[in-house]
Amino acid sequence: MSEKIIITCALTGSADTPRLNPAVPVTPEQIAMAALEAEQAGASIAHIHVREPETGKQSGRIDLFEDVVNRINAANSKLILELSCGRGGTYAFDPAMPGRAGEGSNILTAAQRVAHVELLRPELCSLDVGSVNFEKLVFMNAPSELREMADRIRKAGTKPDLEVFELGHIELAKQLIREGHIETPALAQIVLGIRWGAPATYHAMSAMKDALAGIHWSAADLGSPFPHRSIAQAVLLGGSVRVGLEDSLYIEPGVLATSNAQQVEQAVKLIRYLGYEVATPDEAREILGLHSVYL
């Protein structure tokens, strides 16, 4: 493998994790600072969600995304910013109203889910290619909605990071590519360890890697007490890696991470121990076929 390893840092996520680890950033200032620290530690991509500053709950407010982006850019960062488009697909079944979304649902239109991308035009954004069961909820991403989201993302000049949670999602992603909704070279994020999605095992990662032939991919291990095992597997299988407090609150089993940067530093050491080097943001842009003022 000649390409260097790209490290993505998923800074905060949307789950109710700040109460479990106080290092999870909440405010725009904290999220931006976490991104800059991750860059210094070796990350090339910052995967960004936003939260309501007062409560820490997940949010889709465009002004919060804009605040984070502006703070990072003001620091002359070269980070590749990836804004999350995951919010807006959560469905909770209500047996009293089986034809309607129940309490806990958050269903938005395709336009609403990518409005921040169309305004801010980041280099990357996430696009969850398929539906999956999340505990008691269903994360819904209908093909018709995905086509509209992908078209809007493409018109904004942004590349989607195709988040895939199982093999069927990869087949849908490749169909969207064939139909022209997603440009090549494409980028995919293998998400392992979600309950009822693909498990965080070598065989699952290897099968999904094989299905993604010709597509640059990265792997994330959510919730595993040994995420460094998946990092090593991804590197040895020819992929890139994602770490961060969205994916794991720990630096080792039973020990809470003190920052996103600490997890990036751990990934850098492991990658170099395996005999590979870490890509700079500009090198990552070249690998991913991004067009940036930095190049």
Distance in angstroms (rounded) separating the CA atoms of residues 87 and 127: 10
Tens of pLDDT, residues 131-178 = 999 878 899 999 999 999 999 999 999 999 999 999 999 999 999 999
Tens of pLDDT, residues 8-38 = 999 999 999 999 999 999 999 999 999 999 9
Sheet-wide strand order for 106-107: 106-107, 89-91, 137-139, 132-134
Distance in angstroms (rounded) separating the CA atoms of residues 226 and 189: 19
Distance in angstroms (rounded) separating the CA atoms of residues 284 and 233: 20
Which CATH superfamily hosts domain 7-288? Aldolase class I (3.20.20.70)
For the whole model, what pTM was predicted?
0.95
